[in-house]
Structure 1
């Protein structure tokens, strides 16, 4: 596809969004990032135009659509911290659901028919089956997961009523950093295990906590499916191109189809970093499933997605190299 194709990316200054903007730019697409910079960074937008505005601002949204005239929208902008969603549910329903309504309204008003949604494995809650297929019943257990599930329902309803097609990508545990070292996780309040582990390895944290060591897993700690952010970015490009070629609306899991335990991640981080950092074992956190691994056959078959970075040590290495570039505090 040529550079004439215009892609409107919300939240493109954030962690995952910036990697997708980079991938789009490298492939010659015309990109516009729409971001309020509440968590994103201006210098993370490596290609295209940046419009600093909020999705709650319908007039700014309308004017940007009219000027840019996008062919497709990729929607990342959302609040994503699960414990915060429990404390501040209104923030999450406003930002994740109401603002997505504004965005979809703008798409319908301006004839944009192709929409990629950044969803989450949180829509499954604590699934009964593992690996988890896209057919698993949705049972989110926190406001964050519920807002993602609500948007998926909204997209399904709009696609039935209008000439509008979407792909919802349900991410599992996204980690790592851009292989060229220009982008990575920059949130000070990041809660992901690999980010916390590399911070601890570099002395930015005094210790790493393991929440629960008595799960029914091979070593008693939770197992998760970790996907490198560059592979996830490729999945977005494939999803967008699929829709642009008149593909039908779909939902895909984004994961590698196998998992690593918390202890395995800790040991990998120690090996890669060469640091024997302090680890404290503590009680389980409420709502943590013992194992959460994607059944990713559907995306590999339908989109011919072939992951390039399915290697835990590589994921940790890129995260560590990126974290070394960031300030101590």
Structure 2
């Protein structure tokens, strides 16, 4: 099978490309870092059987700072992908986010919870979901705080905490009671592969989020990183006003639909990531 991947050089995209190729698929990548732009031209994907559409302005804070760019990429780019897919009869798997649920009334959150976006990024993802659902072969996967690569965006919370601790610096906790569901990159990619297989067989799955079902506060996360690295110190910072402050997903739909469950817990994932950073810098591994 020939699979297009937009955002193919990002955290999830680069790991997915490797996994798809290992699974025997031909992959066509499209990413700003390699000269592709979903806002302009997606015809490089025209001969694919389906597209995993990951490309996006992917940070809540970036979308707040530049909503025009976020809308152009996340909605305009998705419009282009959907137009190509409709013309060619392709399937599309759209990468959405836990942000679409807004501030949930109760935890854990199921996929049929109301969509109540609180920020620009979330609104672009809700609109992207709408565009993809209008396709005959369009499906949605929602991610929650995926982590696990040393070259991830340095301002994401886990990379920021790990880098700060390893440098002997300060882990700034912007809302110590804020609570999220952190998913190891390889687990997320396994879920995507399971969805790709079903879509290639002609199925159109219901929206599914890939979550652990375990919530972790930012303070607990910071304390774990400090304990594992035996370095760094923790300080409180002002909570951001445009972010959702808590999310813990219900993993039961992914389990029943895909036979998928997260396999790597947060403690093990942090240890792997910290070890990778130390290997990269030549520091002690334990």
TM-score using structure 2 length: 0.92
Partner in structure 1 of residue 270 of structure 2: 316
Q: Secondary structure at the match of 2:4?
A: strand
Task: Deviation per CA, 1:58-94: give whole Å up to 9, x if none.
Answer: 3xx22x234xx11110011100121221121100100
Tell whether the 8 Å contact from 2:60 to 2:243 is kept in structure 1 after alignment: no
Partner in structure 1 of residue 191 of structure 2: 235
C-alpha RMSD of matched pairs (Å) = 1.8
CA distance in 1, matches of 2:247, 2:270: 19
Please point out which of 156, 173, 192 is paired with 1:192.
156
Q: Secondary structure at the match of 1:128?
A: coil
Partner in structure 1 of residue 36 of structure 2: 53
Tell whether the 8 Å contact from 1:238 to 1:303 is kept in structure 2 after alignment: yes
Partner in structure 2 of residue 146 of structure 1: 123
Give the aligned length.
Answer: 281
Q: Secondary structure at the match of 2:82?
A: helix
In structure 1, the gaps of 5 or more residues are: 43-51, 178-183, 214-220
CA distance in 2, matches of 1:65, 1:232: 23
Q: Secondary structure at the match of 1:18?
A: helix
Please point out which of 170, 174, 190 is paired with 2:142.
170
**CA separation of 1:323 and 1:101: change in aligned 2, threshold 3 A:** same
Is 1:296 aligned to residue 251 of structure 2?
yes
Tell whether the 8 Å contact from 1:176 to 1:317 is kept in structure 2 after alignment: no
Q: Secondary structure at the match of 1:80?
A: coil
CA distance in 1, matches of 2:244, 2:229: 28
Alignment of 1:208-219 (within 5 A): 208-213=171-176
The 4+ residue runs of structure 1 with deviation greater than 3 A are 287-290
Tell whether the 8 Å contact from 1:175 to 1:228 is kept in structure 2 after alignment: yes
Alignment of 1:1-329 (within 5 A): 5-37=1-33, 52-58=35-41, 61-62=42-43, 64-66=44-46, 69-112=47-90, 114-156=91-133, 158-159=134-135, 164-177=136-149, 184-187=150-153, 190-203=154-167, 206-213=169-176, 221-275=177-231, 277-309=232-264, 311-324=265-278, 325=280
CA distance in 2, matches of 1:316, 1:94: 34
CA distance in 2, matches of 1:290, 1:96: 23
TM-score using structure 1 length: 0.81
**1:323 CA displacement:** 3.0
